[in-house]
Amino acid sequence: MADSVKNEFLDAYRRFLRPLVRILIRHGIAIGEFYEVVKAVYAEVADTEFDLPDKAQSQSRVAILTGLTRKEVARLKATDFGRVGDQRKKDIHRVARVLDGWHTDPEYTGPYGMPLEVPFESDSGPSFSELVRRYSGDMAPRAMLDELLRVEAARELHGEWIRVLSRAYIPEQLAPEALQRMARVVENFLNTLEINLHKEKVGSGRFERIVLSDRGLNDEQMAMFDEVVRRRGQELLEELDDWLNSNIKGEEQEGTPIAGVGIFHFIEGERAPRENQD
């Protein structure tokens, strides 16, 4: 790679690392801890995605690709590249699926598609426990309800009936679920950008578009735009979610990829809030 192209790559990485480093510093994570994660990811990606056809990947080749020593590669591989949180990811997906099923399953929706209030258990008719069993696999219904109540996505009514309050699962700030959600959003978005960066022809790759104002917005205009984005963005996401539920049928197969769409609102030129200094 020519030095000019490499410099452009590094400059682009510098730009998108700024908000990530801001988050790390804000929460007391020093560069040594971050560097250990970077080394682990370098080793993992080189080991699993840059192997040669019909040839086992060697620690020597991973070391050459990454600039790490063979000793470091062996250490990182022995710890499964420092991977953590797999169970947490599964739990987040299960909660989201339960909320989605509550809003789309004909047995759990009434007139105009409104989600029904349901009892925790029922001998006949829909119940919260059956909803959890149907959409979350083996997660305990009580644990699921506790989580929905914690993030205010549901409310308990008199007589052990339960009302859903939100279709979206947005964990509280700094909860492990919130951090995993952030990771999933950023990872999926950057994967799309990486694929489009290396697409072979126009029209291939994945859909990725932006719209932005051609001039600055005052506070009133910013508030108006924020309201439109929230309302129309949620409408589009629910329309796409309904399409998926109507058209993707059958049993889930192990190892098949999951597809989705994300919408986010950005503001260029906005300074990050400064932390209070003691």
Tens-digit pLDDT profile for residues 143-197: 999 989 988 899 999 878 999 999 888 766 656 677 778 888 888 898 898 888 8
SS3 percent helix, strand, coil of the chain, rounded to 5, is: 60, 5, 40
- CB-based contacts of 9: which residues, under 8 Å, 6+ apart? 1
* Single-letter amino acid code for the residue at 235: E
What does the pLDDT look like over 240-275, one tens digit per residue? 999 998 888 777 777 788 899 999 998 987 765 555
pTM of the model: 0.58
Higher-pLDDT residue of 84, 116: 116
What does the pLDDT look like over 97-107, one tens digit per residue? 899 999 999 99
pLDDT of residue 277: 44
DSSP state of 158: G
Q: DSSP assignment of 71-125, as one string?
A: HHHHHHHHTGGG---HHHHHHHHHHHHHHHHHHH-GGGB-GGGPBPPEESS-SSS
DSSP state of 250: S
Domain range summary for the chain, segments of one domain joined by + = 1-82, 86-164
pLDDT of residue 175: 66
Helical (H) or strand (E) element with 206: none
Q: Which CATH number, 3.30.420, 2.50.20, 3.40.1130, 1.10.10, labels domain 86-164? A: 1.10.10
Helix extents (H) in 137-175: 141-150
- CB-based contacts of 127: which residues, under 8 Å, 6+ apart? 118, 119, 120, 121
